Amino acid sequence: MRIAVGGFMHESNTFSRSAADLDRFREGSLTYGAALVPVWREAHHEVGGFLEGAETYGFDVVPLAMAWATPSGPVADALFEHVSDALVTGVRMAQPDGVLVALHGAMVTPTYPDADAEILRRLRAAVGPNVPIAASLDFHGNVSPQMAETANVLVGYQTYPHVDQRARGRLAAQLLARAVKGEVKPVVHVAKPPLILNLLGQDTAREPMALLMRMAREAERAPQVLSVSVMAGFPYADVPEMGPSVIVVADGDRAKAKAVADELAAAMWNVREQLNVPCPTPAEAVARAVASQQHPVLLVDLGDNIGGGSAGDGTVLLAELMKQRAKGFIVALYAPEAVRVAKAVGVGGVLDGPLGGTDGMHGPPVTVRGVVRSLHEGKWVETEARHGGRRQNDQGHAAVLDLGDGSLVVLTSLRTPPFSLGQLTSLGIDPRGASAIVVKAAVAYKAAYAPIAGEVIEVDTPGLTAINPARFTYTRIRRPMYPLDVS
């Protein structure tokens, strides 16, 4: 039994002007053929789960290609064609018994608003109607019925932060192997309630999302039900399929798959109001942090959530911390030009000038004066299960700037989501000693940062990933859509 394994993953924020091109994927991960195996084999990622599944379920792996990039604006059409061609050409040459492919579910290109469905369509055309295809999907995938019509198996992550990726990859591998052997005949149904879930409500440890997850696990115990995936969707994509969904894979029973999916989608609709989470303003949040005795306080910069495609150089909370004379804080900013200046002045030198705010959407540039404490290559290895599942990490050349009073600004050359404490500890920083840490995320940081947090304050900051969907102008999504259209 020969199974082709590959992937093409990107979370595309259509409100961003920063396209994901070849350079962005090279900064992330772009491997072809056998080269993908050592990169992903040990990772807490679904591709690692696919590869583990080869031993567990007895199939030979035919590696195709694997492409991943930090979320940003839409994927460039040329890059999409390049990677898609690598996958399709690979399966045509391999003529496998089945295909395992890691997709995100919220990838957009200028030509294809539902790019993941287009990849599945091309793979299906390449292998024909009888070769099973199984795809893993990110919890934030904007899943379309077209995906269900093309793939035999769709399996989504069921944790946010995403710490179950490898396990979900193993499940996809198991179901595909069983389909190839003729043990099951999987069919898929996708139900989509008409609502937008803000990212805080998507936290799978927070009610009522936790309730929906318990209902999904219970539904999987029913006869003929092979897998149930509650999907939160990605609200920063202005595309027709934007929004949450429920995916059910059943053994040959389409009516059963539809009934289970529709029941869970109705349950999600019924708790829609509780899935919205209010947040304080930046001034209110920083005042609370300064007064808090539970250190470190995590200030969650929702509007500059790098994992959702934002700039990573938002200054709103840095400016407010400085305005309120906070001490002992840590802020990381994407600032490649400032890193170059820091390297030029050297350790012990003074950096005096503006930082951040390059796109005008996440606050204006903030002028700081600090001493360059250290310079770094910016790479580290994460050994624990963390959101995103990556083992090899790279924030680019980095500099640590000391502002005095124990406050530090970390300057990076690559946009780096705060998914691992290694981003700080690899620079010689002990995050436990900070009074406050700004994390440019929504929920994904929790797997790494929650264990050390004294208090967590989620902040309603402006930007490409603002928590309130009313801040955005949607022109292509389905309407009516809660909470934008409230009767």
DSSP 39-68: HHTTSSSHHHHHHHHHHHHT-EEEEEEEEE
| 251 and 380 assigned to the same domain | no
Render pLDDT for 367-383 as a digit per residue (tens, 0 to 9): 999 999 999 999 999 99
Examine the pLDDT at 387 and tell me if it is beyond 80: yes
Residue 158 placed within a domain? yes
| 246 and 321 assigned to the same domain | no
Residues 6+ apart with CB under 8 A from 423: 332, 380, 393, 395, 410, 416
Q: Using 50, 70 and 90 to split pLDDT, how confident is the model at 487?
A: low
| 157 and 44 assigned to the same domain | yes
Residue 482 placed within a domain? no
Buried-state track 451-469, b at ≥16 Cβ within 10 A, e below 16:
eebbebbbbbbbbbbbbbb
Structural domain that includes position 193: 2-270
| 247 and 332 assigned to the same domain | no
User: How many domains does the chain fold into?
Assistant: 2
Q: What is the C-alpha separation between 379 and 394, in angstroms, rounded?
A: 4
Render pLDDT for 264-273 as a digit per residue (tens, 0 to 9): 999 999 999 9
Whether pTM exceeds 0.75: yes
Q: With the CA atoms of 444, 448, 450 and 453 taken in that order, what torsion angle do they form, in degrees rounded to the nearest 10?
A: -130
| Domain final residue, candidates 209, 236, 270 | 270
| 23 and 100 assigned to the same domain | yes
Residues 6+ apart with CB under 8 A from 160: 139, 140, 202, 203, 204, 209, 232, 387, 443, 444
Q: What is the C-alpha separation between 279 and 431, in angstroms, rounded?
A: 24
Dihedral sign, CA of 168, 170, 176, 178? negative
pLDDT at 194: 97
| Domain final residue, candidates 219, 241, 270 | 270
Residue 359 placed within a domain? yes
Pairing of strands 60-68, 2-9: parallel
Residue 481 placed within a domain? no
Distance spanning both ends of the chain, measured CA to CA: 54
- Which ranges in 292-377 belong to alpha helices (H)? 316-323, 336-345
| 263 and 348 assigned to the same domain | no
Tokens standing for residue 457: 């304050």
Residues 6+ apart with CB under 8 A from 85: none
Q: With the CA atoms of 446, 452, 457 and 458 taken in that order, what torsion angle do they form, in degrees rounded to the nearest 10?
A: -20
Residue 476 placed within a domain? no
| Domain final residue, candidates 242, 270, 298 | 270
Share of the chain above pLDDT 90, in %: 96
| 215 and 287 assigned to the same domain | no
Examine the pLDDT at 101 and tell me if it is beyond 70: yes
Residue 392 placed within a domain? yes
| 19 and 149 assigned to the same domain | yes
Render pLDDT for 166-198 as a digit per residue (tens, 0 to 9): 999 999 999 999 999 999 999 999 999 999 999
| Mean pLDDT of all residues belonging to the chain | 97
Residues 6+ apart with CB under 8 A from 69: 9, 10, 20, 24, 25, 27, 28, 29, 75
